[in-house]
Amino acid sequence: MAARFNPLEADARWQKVWEEQGTFHASGDGARPRAYVLEMFPYPSGRIHIGHVRNYVMGDVLARYKRMNGFDVLHPMGWDAFGMPAENAAMEKKVHPGEWTRSNIDTMRGQLKLLGFAIDWTREFATCDPSYYGHEQALFLDLFEAGLVYRKQSEVNWDPVDMTVLANEQVIDGRGWRSGALVERRKLSQWFLRITDFADELLDGLGRLDQWPDKVRLMQENWIGKSQGLRFRFDISPSPSGEGVGGWGMSQLYPTSPTPTPPLKGRGLESFEVFTTRPDTIFGASFAAIAPDHPIALALAEGNGGLAAFIAECKQGGTTAAELETAEKKGFDTGIRVIHPLDPEWKLPLYVANFVLMDYGTGAIFGCPAHDQRDLDFARKYGLPVTRVVAPSPEEAEEPIGDEAYSGPGRLVNSRFLDGLTAEDGIREVIARAEADGWGEGTTVWRLRDWGVSRQRYWGTPIPIVHCEACGPVAVPRDQLPIVLPEDIDFETPGNPLDRHPTWSKVDCPECGGSARRETDTLDTFVDSSWYFIRFASQPGDAPFDRAEAERWLPVDQYIGGVEHAILHLLYARFWTRALQRIGKLDVVEPFRGLFTQGMVTHVTFQDPQGKWLTPEEAESHGGPVIRGRVEKMSKSKRNTVDPEPIVDQYGADAVRWFMLSDSPPERDLEWSEAGIQGSWRFVQRLWRLADEEAGRGSSTWLGDGEDAALDRKVHRAIAAVGANIEALAFNKAVANLYELTNALEKAPASPSRSRAVETLIRLAAPMVPHLAEEVWAAIGQEGLIAQAEWPVADPALLVEEEVTIAVQVNGKLRDTLTAPKGAARETLEEMALASEKVARILEGKPARKVIVVPDRLVNVVA
RNA sequence: GCCCCCGUGGCGGAAUUGGUAGACGCGCUCGACUCAAAAUCGAGUUCCGCAAGGAGUGCCGGUUCGAGUCCGGCCGGGGGCACCA
């Protein structure tokens, strides 16, 4: 063996061996139990960054560990290859999005291979392959035929310069992030998937995902947003003088229309529904309010210029977080009165209010100022009555409400027949009465919206629909799939190139044969990532997947990725899987049994006094003063990124892998540092020296024949600890276990125990530093690959200590320690502790009041 | 505003059910080897103190024989949602 481990030479050599032998192919032959380990597949943006490396190293350690434990492991890799950056590159660099994407994939695949990941590359695909998205089109049609896809008008963010729809995240301060143009709200016909049909089961299923982080489950729960309550009808009160005009409040700021008769009658607008989660507070009602775009508001505005102006003003209001937070509650009194459902004599004013949202519930509310902060703010502003109807105690029944609404528990007061009931009973009672009397019903409202999947872009999966004037939207016949994106496209003009293509969209209607137009929208790329894990498990040519084979691999046993996908991707994938189950295509309920969200890789930042960001190298060579900034997420704009490739060239894959696993718990951020990677490099070399020494010594040169029982125990404790920590994905702890064992081995005198221990250490380290492990494995004359060797088994007998250290406390303070045989009797321990000089000194001859003995742990003497 | 998580040495972080706080790594100090350096090896490294000893897990209080861990109240940091009725 060489004096030093040379990764430059060894890495490539072992990577070639693994590839040639197909070491990491998932066989699926049923001979071994299966394990499916998956990291979120990357978007081919250009180059691998260090965050990818951390993500894939974690999955890789688990995959290799599972393989050594006798599993048939599926650990695939692919590319989430559709999306905007490719189109931006096309516009900026005049390169075809496909060409740009393919070239990035080639680069990144090469970079990933440098790290020696145990990936089954035979299953690799990119979502931009027609052989992938064609099957996606088929699945879309399956859902379409099952009624889970529909088309409706919806408001979108429209960039008038780029002529494209923008996602909310792409609208910054009301402007398109690329063009800087003021974004318009536009109504477009879009395709939607009925994810709301699954709201209940998606929520319910979270409870059974016990191997998911609580945080992610909670985020999804909030996102789905289930609210139970009462939906009920308000009838508009007929008034002698017609149906009212704006008379009070805000309306004075706006000119009142000279034609005061609002056209509600005969249009189904004589009543409207509201939703509330607090029907118990119904006797605290002091007003009703509708959204500015509620049909009644729009109808009233036809005859009321003041209201029309108010509605227009509401629409202008920004929708950014900051603006909403400070936005004042504003309303417009329509002059209309509505009838309280429990008292026909009780009339409430109807406002149009800026804080009522048309797309939640029914777009209308009843206002109960005493117990809802927004309603209270509103009521105070417009001088509306505030009546307490819930009191935390009988004494507080008449306590006036101040500036804060009371939303806590209590009993109902000032509420006629509800008085004395708890709030919960009140809710039940009012719902029961509403249902019995026919003016409302108990219902559930969700925050979750249906998933709009239409994107007015080129680089995505074409939606397999044809629009025919006679037949409407028609599914493309299956034998015409895949609908392939045209290659001859023009990015010179903004907008969707598919729309402008001279021939692509011109087709005959599959139903009537008449001339028709192909759908030119493409699917949201989140659709692509909603089923790729199924395609990894099984990829026949003529179908999206083979059902039986997919069911044998799924669900994914361990899924690893960034927490930024906690909601959208993970919710969409759960929905898609359930949708496939509902239509009878795949009997899997949840796609990911275990989920792990890893932290980011961060790095220090540097700036010069002018605030210009500097790379770490620039900071070092910079002549003038340099400000050392915070440790932050790596980003190009802050110039604190680290390219993994030169680092792998310098230190080798194993040192990089080891560093990615060290120190920080995997769910937290890891700070990249030069010292850290050097430390890892040193450890790789230490392992090498240890093995080298042992190999060089040969078995004939023992100093003695004696076994080293203490070392044996340490080894077996390490076997148990490393295994448990890898299974728990606590890689930083597994790393610490390996350091401890290495330290112990370096100090241990030569013995057969030590030789065995070094071999065990290499096995334990193999998932983390696989190239070095293979090199050592071969050098010590072992057959085959360590990647396929068995994980050592801890001997339970050696996990038990013979002697234990007992802490001796006086009044809970540590005063002494003593060594006792494992399992020593309470009395023995007590006796030993009381015999301690230090204890005796503190007791000063007085007897102990009490002695607490925790066997094998401590004795606490209470003085 | 609502919901959730986290505060432990110079730094990253360990610490079963409450039971010896600081494992392991980084950094630093001293020493060995060396002409010197790198590499490597040895010793040390929570704070105060020469020591004996004392203090110590953001702060204040509580429960307990015993609290980093449990409870209450603050302070600080991070994340999610965002006028959701």
> Within 13 Å and on the Cβ side, how many CA atoms surround A153?
3
CA–CA gap between residue A216 and residue A569 (Å, rounded): 12
Q: Regarding predicted confidence, which is higher, A781 or A35?
A: A35
pLDDT at A256: 44
Q: Output the distance from A751 CA to B78 C1' rounded to whole Å.
A: 51
C1' of B37 to CA of A15 (Å): 36
User: A328: closest CA among A364, A377, A294?
Assistant: A377
Q: Average of pLDDT values for A596-619?
A: 83
Q: Looking at the C1' of nucleotide B14, which residue has the nearest alpha carbon?
A: A733
Q: Could you read off the pLDDT of A421-475 as tens digits, one per residue?
A: 998 899 999 999 999 999 999 999 998 989 989 988 899 999 999 999 999 999 9
Residue A489 pLDDT > 60 = yes
Residue numbers 262-321 of A with CB closer than 7 A to any atom of strand B: 275-278, 291, 317, 321
Distance (Å, whole) CA A695 – CA A1: 8
Complex-level ipTM beyond the 0.90 threshold: yes
The DSSP 8-state label assigned to residue A289 in this structure reads E
The pTM assigned to this predicted structure is: 0.91
The per-residue pLDDT for range A213-225, each reduced to its tens digit, is 988 998 899 889 9
Cα–Cα nearest to A680, from A644, A652, A714, A640: A652
- A439 in Cβ contact with A232 (< 8 Å): yes
A213 touches strand B (CB under 7 A): no
- pLDDT value at residue A321: 38
Lowest mean pLDDT segment, chosen from A302-316, A349-363, A539-553: A302-316
Q: Can you give A75-135 as a three-state secondary structure string? A: CCCCECCCCHHHHHHHHHHCCCHHHHHHHHHHHHHHHHHHCCCCCCHHHCCECCCHHHHHH
A27-63 pLDDT, tens per residue? 989 899 999 999 999 999 999 999 999 999 999 999 9
Residue A656 to residue A542: CA distance in whole angstroms: 41
Euclidean distance between CA atoms A318 and A171, whole angstroms:
12
Omega of the bond prior to A482 within 30 degrees of 0, cis?
yes
A424 touches strand B (CB under 7 A): no
- Please check whether strand B approaches the CB of A857 to within 7 Å: yes
Window from A178-182, A376-380, A811-815, A837-841 with minimum mean pLDDT: A178-182
Task: Measure A683 CA to B44 C1' (Å).
Answer: 21
Using the CA of A679, which nucleotide's C1' is the nearest one?
A: B26
A800 or A520, which is more confident? Answer: A520
Contacts 24+ apart (CB under 8 A), A543-547: A543/A135, A543/A138, A544/A135, A544/A136, A544/A138, A544/A139, A545/A135, A545/A586, A547/A585, A547/A586, A547/A587
| Strand spans (E) along A634-758 | 670-671
A125-134, A191-200, A563-572 — most confident range:
A125-134
Q: How far, in Å, are A35, A262, A784 from residue A364 at the CA level?
A: 51, 18, 71
Amino acid at A457: R
Cβ of A832: how many Cβ atoms within 10 Å?
Answer: 18
Whose structure tokens read 């007085």?
Answer: A846
For A252 and B34, how far is CA from C1' in angstroms? 93
At residue A211's C-alpha, the angle toward residues A209 and A217, to 5°, is 50
Distance CA A537, CA A281 (A): 54
Task: Read off the pLDDT band of A90 (50, 70, 90).
Answer: confident
- Strand B proximity: list residues 355-414 of A with CB under 7 Å: 355-358, 360-363, 365, 372-374
Which alpha helices (DSSP H) does A156-265 contain, by range? 199-206, 214-224
Rounded to 5 degrees, φ, ψ at A372 are -145, 125
Evaluate if residue A540 carries a pLDDT over 90.
yes
List chain B nucleotides near protein: any atom < 7 Å from a Cβ. Answer: 1, 3-5, 12-15, 17, 19-21, 23-27, 39-42, 53, 55, 65-67, 79-85
pLDDT per position as a tens digit, A518-535: 999 999 999 999 999 999
Could you tell me what percent of chain A has a pLDDT over 90?
57
Burial of A835 per CB tally in 10 Å (0-12, 13-18, 19+): exposed
pLDDT at A159: 81
Does residue A327 reach within 7 angstroms of strand B, measured from its CB?
yes
Which of A364-373, A389-398, A840-849 comes out lowest in average pLDDT?
A840-849
Distance from residue A806 (CA) to nucleotide B51 (C1'), in Å? Answer: 27
* pLDDT at residue A173 in the model: 64
Indicate if the pLDDT at residue A538 is higher than 90.
yes
**Closest residue to B1 (CA, C1′):** A325
